[in-house]
Amino acid sequence: MLSEAVTKEQIDIDFDGIEPVYFDRSSQASAAVGVITLAFGTDPVARWMYPDPNDYLEHFPRFVRAFAGRSFDKGTAFLATEMSGAALWLPPDVEPEEDPLVELFLSSTADVVQKDLFPMFEQMASYHPKEPHWYLPMIGVEPSQQGRGVGSALLQHTLANADADGLPAYLESSNPKNIPLYERFGFGLIGIIRSGDAPPLYPMLRKPMRTWEEALITKS
């Protein structure tokens, strides 16, 4: 859904130290959620959902776990070295759990937000590919580490798996500034999600490629 915090990333940096994170490794899972929370602190959609800082800090980590938490169960949540960034991917045929999300929205967001939030998620579902695919609900880089290529390395890491499987990848960018980066990795804009007063979301689809470098060559 949301993809703040990889803006102005470099792409040609060799960045090591990405490893999977599981729920049973509680300190690393908490670190990954913390990185995402810091990265989304100025994200248009995240702060529309939780405009009050106290509400944001209390509820957004719960949203991360509800929306992308199954990535920890599947071993497809990745944390970069020194806790500099995290990417929470959902593998093929794995989707966010709907009931915890609905409960969280009803208990933590204002009525004026809910009237546009639920239709927004309905639109999001309509854009998801019907065939098996890799889905990136959330990726973020700790603000002080942005611009070093961390986000690009996190993207590259799982896109290589998607290419090896011959499967597409899908995401929704919540910040138009990030669209050029995703395009360089082979993602293409397939529409715009608009719901009332909510900031727009930009669904993007990437067809499988033999290597991620081919996407860069194509877009350069």
Domain for residue 134, yes or no? yes
pTM of the model: 0.85
CATH number at residue 49: 3.40.630.30
CA 61 to chain centre: 14
Can you give the pLDDT at residue 4?
45
Q: CA of 80: how far to CAs of 84, 119, 134, 150, 212, in Å?
A: 6, 34, 19, 7, 19
What is the predicted pLDDT for the residue at 25? Answer: 56
Domain annotation covers residue 210: no
Residue 121 lies in a domain: yes
The confidence score (pLDDT) of residue 27 equals 80
> Looking at residue 116, what is its pLDDT?
98
Residue 135 is part of which domain span?
19-155
Each residue's pLDDT tens digit, 98-121 = 999 999 999 999 999 999 999 999
Q: How many CB atoms lie within 10 A of CB 115?
A: 13
Asked whether residue 218 is domain-assigned, the answer is: no
Q: What is the pLDDT of residue 192?
A: 97
The domain total for the chain is 1
The answer as to whether 79 is a domain residue is yes
pLDDT at res. 186: 94
3-class state of residue 136 by DSSP? strand
Cβ atoms of 53 and 123 closer than 8 Å: no
Q: Please check whether residue 189 lies inside any domain of the structure.
A: no
Predicted pLDDT at 145: 84
220 in a structural domain? no
User: Is residue 133 helix, strand or coil?
Assistant: coil
Instruction: Report helix angle 212-219 to 150-165, nearest 10.
Output: 110
Q: What is the reported pLDDT for 127?
A: 96
Domain assignment present for 13:
no
Ranges of residues in the chain with a pLDDT under 70 are 1-26, 210-220
